[in-house]
Structure 1
């Protein structure tokens, strides 16, 4: 069970970093997949409007915490 949780953490981390890059510049690789949070979730949540960069970085940080927790739990 530890491995799938770590993979979810990795996906969240990659999406958060990719969304931050996409917000600052243009993400040329796998944009629709990697920037799902940035392009689909953030526009639909009014509280995140204006805080897109912070939301993406927070998503990446949550992903790192999940990966660390999955690794530590072994």
Structure 2
């Protein structure tokens, strides 16, 4: 179960970084997949209007936390 959680963390990291790049400039690579959070989730959350860059950086930080937490768990 560690590997799927680590994969989720890595996807969160990639989406956060890609969303931050897309917010500052144009991100042409894997735009539909990597910018899902930036283009689908963020516009629906009115509380984050104006804080899109911070939301993407927080997503990246949460992805790092998920990867580290999954690595620290010991298999049973």
TM-score by structure 2 length? 0.95
Match of residue 33 from structure 2: 33
CA offsets 1:14-49 (integer angstroms, 9 cap, x no match): 000000000000001011110000000000000010
TM-score by structure 1 length? 0.98
Provide structure 2 residue ranges, at least 5 long, that are not aligned to the other structure: none
Distance 2:59 2:9 in 1: 9
Match of residue 47 from structure 2: 47
Give the length in aligned residue pairs: 74
Distance 2:28 2:36 in 1: 14
Distance 1:24 1:73 in 2: 36
Larger Rg: 2
Q: Report the secondary structure of 1:26's partner residue.
A: coil
Distance 1:24 1:32 in 2: 17
Q: 4+ runs of 1 displaced by more than 3 Å? A: none
